Amino acid sequence: MYDSEYANKTPKEGNMVKLQAFRVAAREAGFVEVREAGGGSTLWLKKGTPDTAQGTFQRMCIDSLTKSVTVYWMTAFGKLDSKTFRGVPALQEWFKLSQEVIVKR
């Protein structure tokens, strides 16, 4: 889906398009930017609403150096877990599957 957007871009432009696509996917999934971090190569976001099971907020880090996104969340046993994505479609699919699991509970 997003690969065609990179086709006619320089590597730097392609990276910017990919990072912007990660931001859009995050916003569509209910994440908002966290203003507590300074400049640098990462952008931190948190879920706008807390997890219903834990009352904690999922966090997300968009890393411009690795061109990836890592989502962090707390499991039912209080353990921190994470998943890293290198492609926007995989992130969107994971959001979709995660939401379906929550709705079924």
List the pLDDT tens digit at each of the 105 positions of the chain: 445 554 556 766 767 888 899 999 999 999 999 875 556 789 999 998 887 666 778 999 999 899 999 999 888 777 899 999 999 999 999 999 876 554 443
Q: What is the pLDDT of residue 68?
A: 95
Token representation of residue 16:
């910017």
pTM: 0.76
CA distance 47 to 4: 29
Q: What is the pLDDT of residue 37?
A: 55
Buried b (16+ CB within 10 A) or exposed e, 27-61: eebebeeeeeeeeeeebbbbbeeeeeeeeebbbbb
